[in-house]
Amino acid sequence: MRVVVVGTGYVGLVSGACFADFGHHVTCVDKDEAKIASLQRGEIPIFEPDLDRVVQTNAREGRLVFTTDLAGPVGEADVVFIAVGTPSRRGDGHADLSYVYAASREIAKSVQGFTVIITKSTVPVGTGDEVERIIEQVNPSADVAVASNPEFLREGAAVRDFKHPDRIVVGTENPRARKVIGEIYRPLYLNQAPIMYTGRRTAELIKYAANAFLATKITFINEIADLAEKVGADVQEIARGIGLDNRIGSKFLHAGPGYGGSCFPKDTRALIKTAQDYDVPLRILEAVNSVNDTRKRAMARKVAAPFGGNLRGKTVAVLGLTFKPNTDDMREAPSIPLITALRDLGATVRAFDPVGMEQARLEMPDIEYHENAYSCAEGADALVIVTEWEQFRALDLDRLKQEMAAPVVIDLRNVYNPDDLTGRGFLYQSVGRQTKAAG
């Protein structure tokens, strides 16, 4: 089938590349000429495992094309995916749908013959209705069906998630659209990926509800971690104990500095705003949003605690800047408010991240960046693990102690066994577990 993907951001690029890998002919369209030129050279603008191979292979074999021209490919397409950004709108937290609506107008001008137009972007309930209205207004004779097909991709595992999905949600009641979309995903038949057909508004809400629920699980275990510290319990054992219950499950029960990234923060806020528009209070999600925002900055107090709350004249080494491992995404990363708070407390901050430092420099140009964990730790009074990159899980602890001015480790991801650190003379502080000192 001939597929057009409008937008070459995270969702658009991964989706386009994977559809091409299924054997479809895919054209990815973006207005950013520099980005398109880069993709045409085989350069990938984001860090995502295995994505470079999928893009380069399918581009070389002619199934994946990148262009700034929308009209030509859309006129020949069976399916057009809208995969542009829907960031939080400044000032009110609603999803900014201006890019979705602009893409809809451009698509409407160029469609020919029956075409299925699918919102892949995360959009609030009712967006598909507005896209349909825009297309009818711009091109009343257009023979189109507007559907919703939200993505459920984890950054760092997006290619695998696309090819081995838990489910494929398709929001349309149009039988012709269902047939076309079923054909697009037919290559996943052997994987037995269930396709769930729903109404369009239901599909739109499924995406938001899924992200909000996962954000709630993270926030819940983070608050339990705070209680565990006070009462002398171990949050990791608590998480395991409740996660073995099939009704709860073990995923997203890892205590830490709060959630970040491109999805959970903005989607939770957008769902709250949508509910307010319909006069339906979502008190749990309002609390989740508030607690998470506060938590990120509050982690600085945990770092300052071994020094009596005073970081004046202290040097803090931060390992991990991206919001999670295996991505260079810095959007709403916990490291940003944490580092800001550390500096407000008087600390000098230095940092290292395996792939995220280029993006981090755009957010935090005034801190000191290092080439590896050990140079970052040299002369530091405290070392903070913020992102659980695999490279940080097996550090040479004896070398680390030699490099540091003081053997203080604050592990915000509970990467280490406390006894491994205290046995080597460190003061070790983690999340939801008791602070331990050498001896």
Q: Which residues of 46-72 are buried (b: 16+ CB within 10 A; e: fewer)?
A: bbbeebeebbbebbeeebbbbeeebee
Report how far apart the first and last C-alpha atoms of the chain are (Å, whole number). 67
Let me know: does 430 contact 418? Beta carbons within 8 Å: yes
Between the alpha carbon of residue 120 and those of residues 3, 41, 152, the distances in Å are 13, 26, 10
Query: Which of 341, 333, 347 shows the shortest CA–CA distance to 383?
Result: 347
Rounded Cα–Cα distance for residues 114 and 209 (Å): 32
Residue for token pair 């999670």: 324
Where helices occur in 232-352 by DSSP H, the ranges are 235-243, 264-277, 283-304, 335-344
Q: Which residues are catalytic?
A: 263
Where helices occur in 81-172 by DSSP H, the ranges are 98-110, 127-138, 158-163
Single-letter residue type at 303 = V
Cβ partners under 8 Å of residue 259, min gap 6? 215, 218, 219, 265, 292, 323, 334
Let me know: does 24 contact 65? Beta carbons within 8 Å: no
Residue 93 is predicted with a pLDDT of: 84
Q: Which two tokens stand for residue 312?
A: 């004046």
Residue 334 is predicted with a pLDDT of: 97
> Domains in the chain, ordered, with CATH?
2-198 (3.40.50.720), 200-439 (3.40.50.720)
Q: For the chain, which ranges sit under pLDDT 50?
A: none
Q: Which two tokens stand for residue 69?
A: 């021209």
Cβ partners under 8 Å of residue 83, min gap 6? 5, 6, 7, 9, 11, 12, 15, 16, 120, 121
Rounded Cα–Cα distance for residues 174 and 396 (Å): 59
Helix (H, G, I), strand (E, B) or coil at 170: strand
DSSP state of 194: P
Residue 165 is predicted with a pLDDT of: 94
Residue 438 is predicted with a pLDDT of: 66
Q: Which two tokens stand for residue 423?
A: 């046995």
Between the alpha carbon of residue 65 and those of residues 14, 16, 27, 117, 392, the distances in Å are 13, 9, 5, 19, 38
Query: Which of 233, 204, 28 shows the shortest CA–CA distance to 125?
Result: 204
Rounded Cα–Cα distance for residues 183 and 408 (Å): 57
